[in-house]
Amino acid sequence: MNNSNPVGGLSRVDEAAATELTTALQHQIDRMGDDELATAIVETKRALDALSATLHMFIADFDRRQVAERVHVLTTTQWLRHTLRLSVKEASGTLKTARALTEMPTV
């Protein structure tokens, strides 16, 4: 069985696992009451925000260390575009946010 992973894609094994997880999640959602569903939405958003902050911290340090320039001969924005498959606007906005967060006080 060929489980090759094309650039930016999932292998067949990964696709099968993702489908299985999606199906299991949908069954769990179907059993939730309205209040439980609302709570799950709020908790998921909080988790996404925390992950987003973590990602921006990583990107800010990656940029500060000039890893893209030293290792890949790219700007950080170019590296983000290529590696994370972002548009020019998304990549530059992500980097701008990451840089700005390093200037903000920790809460």
Give the mean pLDDT per block of 10 residues along the chain (107 residues).
48 83 94 97 97 96 96 96 96 97 77
Angle between helices 76-84 and 88-103 (to 10 degrees): 120
pLDDT of residue 7: 47
pLDDT of residue 57: 95
What is the pTM assigned to this prediction?
0.73
